[in-house]
Amino acid sequence: MKGEVFSCKLRESGVLYEKFRDILSDLISRVESISMGFIELRVGRRRGYLRLIDVLGLIDDWCRRNGRFSVIALDEAQYLRFSNKRYDLLLAWSIDNLSNIFYVLTGSEVGLLHDFLRLDSIDSPLRGRVRREVYVEKFSVEQSVEFLRSGFEERGVEVKASEIEEVVKRLNGVPGWLTLYGYYRVVRGMNSIDALNKVLEEGTAIVISELDRVIERSRDRYTAILKAIAMGFKRWRDIKAFVEARTGPIPPNKFSELLERLVKYGYVKKINGEYTIDDPIVKHAVLSKL
């Protein structure tokens, strides 16, 4: 849908759209392979290859000549941190040199995204760059109900209030899961039960895939911590006792480091000194898949 809107907006510009389309068509026609390291686009031998900075430069030049701006959105940008390439250097270079390109970085794990950007670190290439941060908190019950009700109404789908209330209860106000439910219910035409089951299935797969990257260096301990909290242990000492029964003795400072990392990355919430998992999909994933 977003691509269609972008395309329509370009078409409104007439000749500009034709020129922009010609640039993209030329680039695409020359691509022979893509290297996923630094996203090098390998083209014909006579022309060598285009690095990502070359492509960005072409886009910026087109925007400058035609009085336009481009916005590049990177979804789940925190995972660039796990690459062996310095994408933060690329972003810093682009911000400094390509004045017609703006970036929107989104991420479901705020702590991990901050680790990637290192905005407050003295040696971060992105330090001091102008930015605006927007946080999407968990919806309240009222906000969740209104969110779903408005979405169904906008698409002309009649849904009982009891269904919305049940979905809100099951998904606990997490915007991403509510959105995914709406997609399966409206776009895919599923009934409520099938849509909820699909959200549970797909959401669990997403959580496990993302979580694996965070816990891989100390998997047994992280898994034990998450299971303890998912099972209802809330206090530091009780969680630690559960973990040690599963994995053996662990120094208090090391245990606190692991626990706080899970808090930082958003899998665990700390409220008044007690720990909980308030995302129902994360809790289900931990209990059923780890």
Joined together, the tokens standing for residue 289 give 């898949």
- Comparing CA positions, the residue from 112, 97, 104 lying closest to residue 70 is 104
CA distance 96 to 69: 15
Interval 173-210: pLDDT, tens: 999 999 999 999 999 999 999 999 999 999 999 899 88
- When mean pLDDT is compared across 88-97, 148-157, 275-284, the lowest value belongs to 88-97
CATH architecture entry for 216-289: Orthogonal Bundle (1.10)
Check: CB of residue 225 under 8 Å from CB of residue 262: yes
CA distance 267 to 275: 10
Check: CB of residue 277 under 8 Å from CB of residue 286: yes
Task: Compute CA distances 108 → 29, 97, 174, 176, 179, whole Å.
Answer: 35, 29, 11, 9, 14
Interval 206-247: pLDDT, tens: 899 888 888 988 999 999 999 999 999 999 999 999 999 999
Task: For domain 141-209, give the fold.
Answer: Helicase, Ruva Protein; domain 3 (1.10.8)
User: What residue spans define the domains of the chain?
Assistant: 2-117, 141-209, 216-289
CA distance 41 to 37: 11
